[in-house]
Chains A and B, each alone.
Chain A
Amino acid sequence: MNLLHKIRETCYAVLPICALVLILGTTIAPLGTTTLVPFCVGSVILILGLSIFLTGADLGIVPAGAYMGSKLTRARSMPLILGAGLVIGFLITVAEPDLLVLGDQVESVTGVIKSRPLVLAVALGVGSFVALALARVLLQVPYRVVLIVGYLLIFALASRIDNVFVAIAFDSGGATTGPMTVPFIIALGVGIASVRGDKNALEDSFGFTGIASIGPIIAVTLLGFAMSGGGEHSGVGAGLGSGIDAAIAPGEGAQSAASIASIASLALASVAQAFAHFPMEARDVLIALAPLYGIILCFQFFLLRLPPRLFRRITLGFVYAAIGLTLFFIGTDLAFVPAGTKLGSVLGALEYRWILIPIGCVLGAVVVCAEPAVWVLTEQVEEASGGNIRKPVLLATLAIGVAVSVGLSMCRVIFGFSVWWLLVPFYALAIALTFATPRLFTAIAFDSGGVASGPMASTFILSLTLGASVAAGGNPATDGFGVIAMVAATPLVAIQILGMLFHRSEARVAEGLGK
């Protein structure tokens, strides 16, 4: 049964984090039962949610994207394909809950940048870059060229505008690649490649998410370019910092108030608290999924015409995805945000602060394995490569990449150097590696950058870094921004190195067979 299978898989992915947090929380960084009990309850909800979501993604979102991709290509009309790419990219982004939250936060903190234009700019950015990614496949422009032009443009623009805009731009790049959009965009690419008979089809299956996540960054930097000169930028950075400070504070107050309660009642209370959030989370998820399902419904009537049983399956898949994602978000809110913040602040206040670095590495490595979109990507890669590139290998590589990024971010928290000293070399290295890596792996690498910086990174890792940064007396605004950008950058290098190793061992096997 697929659900049970998924539950087992997600247990392998999530339980290590739980064990690690529990060990840390009872030894060097005592968190107390008021954090640990809700954490355990939240983890169970999260595992259930993630399994149900992944089952739903397999049944609904992924096949729908794949059928759409293949039908669009089959229709053989360039305007239709580009138009559909634009509309799909725009609609699925504009409803992304993460992006709406980011827009509101940015508006309330800066005052200058309004939420609506920001969200529209980001959605337009994603839409036009999904269209661009489609055009690239049809015209067979090398993937590398698009990446180099895209990133050069970003860094050229970013050097000219205010740092706050750069921070928001990179953040919005991460926020758009949410757990619903990514599987769909990946599947769209796989679908387009699946109708092709040529040998390049496999390597063109991936890379759409990588291009799509350039879009919002360029869009926001352009927005910043257009708006530069208006508003007092010096005050903006400080404002962002204090906003995050305020966001962290309430968690600590609640802590002492509940410390007398026994563990059992605490567990009950946290379940009750979790389900008090249910309607709100469910609404967010539905708002985000509705446009996607709407698009598919439209396509079903006008273009797809899938057979009845299959369409029923896809619809059921969407229902599961909605339920699963709601539970997943409840789980992260209950378990991972408070535990991450608390853990970070306790560890950051320790005398031997260097311990943040190894702990950050280990936590980074295990957290990425619980990222929903990561699972979808690795599954799709395994399937598209006919089982050649195995799921555990990709997961392990991603884990190493993210471990490095979180470790480096912790170094930054302690030593306080600018994120640019890390970001620029990593992106330069990533671009340079595209010349030496098999193209399939370049595409997977740039996809996984967007995929790794999903909801788990932006809740647990971000809270951990912010907590550590506050306790260590750093600047949470810049530290927090840096970590997500880093989580998105290191997989680009890690996966490409894997690709080179893979290529070498494959060549050796081929040589061995030839003898």
Chain B
Amino acid sequence: MNYDWKIFTVVPHGHGEKIALRTRAAGARGGTVFVGRGELDSRILRFLALADIERDVLLTLVTDDQLEAVLASIVDATAYRGKKESMAFVVPMGGDVMTDTEQEMISIIVNRGYADDIMNAARKAGAKGGTILNARGTGKPDDEKFFGITIVPEKEEILILAERETANAIRDAIEKLPCLTTPGIGIMFSSPVSRVVQLGRKAK
């Protein structure tokens, strides 16, 4: 089966599975839930390192004709929640990549531990938020062996959604971070985002 769209749904921790069930009922074939963390938009709390919130990121692949129904089911499933911190966005997969979208998703994959410095720099450059996922590097053929175990690199993936202009500023700020100058420490790439939906209680 060929999928045309990737839907990312970012919700408070614990809601990912429920929404996945609803999307399945609406026609999606499945979904994958990542557990990540985000930050509240409060300066003081961030300074005190108390702004963390746990988030689920649900990744759903859909075809052209499923897109509307699945998106509607996500909006529906989260309608009772507060408006804060929840959103869904749609990333096109291959085909004619639209380069004229207004929003971009920046993905940064780095060795574990740098996420906070990156988020801090991104915020200074205008990012409104971001989600940090824990990940592991792939098993390369030359993975290092040590006694009975194989050692693979630990990674963090940071997802930041931003307007096109801000996205450029954010990328510049991250590239200039002094702690990220070592070659091979990570990669950064962007995907076009064709649609962003704020989830939660409908605006009055």
Contacts and interface: CB of A to CB of B under 8 A. Distances in A.
A308 B114 CA distance: 9
A313 B117 CA distance: 11
A80 B152 CA distance: 19
A383 B35 contact: yes
Contact of B152 (A5, A197, A307, A316): A197
A73 B151 contact: yes
A73 B154 contact: no
A1, A140, A194: residue with the most chain B Cβ atoms closer than 10 Å: A1
B160 to A, nearest CB: 16
B82 interface: no
A1 B53 contact: yes
B154 to A, nearest CB: 5
A5 B53 contact: yes
Contacts of B146: 73, 76, 138
B120 interface: yes
A58 B149 CA distance: 27
Interface size class of B (residues with CB under 8 A): 20 to 34
B163 interface: no
Which DSSP category, helix, strand, loop or mixed, fits chain B's interface?
mixed
Contacts of A138: 146-149
Interface string A65-86: 0010010011010100000000
A387 B35 contact: yes
Contact of A197 (B52, B113, B151): B151
B50 A1 contact: yes
Contacts, number: 85
B42, B48, B113, B150: residue with the most chain A Cβ atoms closer than 10 Å: B113
Contacts of B201: none
Interface in B101-145: 112-117, 120, 136, 139, 143-144
B52 A309 contact: no
A307 B116 CA distance: 9
Nearest to B35: A387
Interface residues of A, number: 35
A201 B152 CA distance: 11
A151 B81 CA distance: 51
B51 interface: yes
B65 to A, nearest CB: 26
A503 interface: no
Given A1-B40, A1-B50, A78 B147 contact: yes
A416 B175 CA distance: 71
Given A2-B53, A313-B49, A198 B33 contact: no
A310 interface: yes
B152 A309 contact: no
B25 to A, nearest CB: 18
Nearest to B154: A194
Interface string B51-67: 11110000000000000
A317 interface: yes
A1 B143 CA distance: 39
Contact of B151 (A67, A195, A312, A387): A195
Interface in B13-48: 33, 35, 40, 42, 45, 48
Contacts of A1: 40, 42, 45, 50-53
A70 B149 contact: no
A306 to B, nearest CB: 6
Contact of A67 (B51, B54, B113, B136): B113
Interface string B71-113: 0000000000000000000000000000000000000000011
B197 interface: no
Contacts of A425: none
A386 interface: yes
Contacts of B144: 76
Contacts of B42: 1
A383 B48 CA distance: 24
A197 B117 contact: no
B40 A313 contact: no
B179 interface: yes
Contacts of A316: 48-49
B56 to A, nearest CB: 9
A196 B149 CA distance: 7
A309 B116 contact: yes
Interface string A195-210: 1111001000000000
A270 interface: no
B149 A308 contact: no
Contact of B150 (A139, A197, A317): A197
Contact of B154 (A70, A139, A310, A312): A70
B86 to A, nearest CB: 16
Interface string A147-177: 0000000000000000000000000000000
Contacts of A195: 151-154
A74 B111 CA distance: 13
A307 B114 contact: yes
Contacts of B115: 310
Contacts of A306: 113
B149 to A, nearest CB: 5
B136 A139 contact: no
A197 B142 CA distance: 12
Contacts of A310: 113-117
A76 B147 CA distance: 9
A140 B179 contact: no
A374 interface: no
A474 to B, nearest CB: 46
Contact of A313 (B33, B116, B136, B143): B116
Given A1-B42, A5-B53, A70-B154, 6 more contacts: A1-B45, A2-B52, A76-B146, A139-B147, A195-B154, A383-B35
**The 9 residue pairs across chains A and B that have the minimum distance between CB atoms:** A140-B148, A197-B152, A309-B116, A138-B147, A2-B52, A309-B117, A197-B150, A197-B139, A307-B179
Interface of B: 33, 35, 40, 42, 45, 48-54, 112-117, 120, 136, 139, 143-144, 146-154, 179
11 contacts: A67-B113, A73-B146, A138-B147, A139-B148, A195-B152, A197-B136, A307-B113, A309-B117, A310-B117, A313-B49, A387-B35
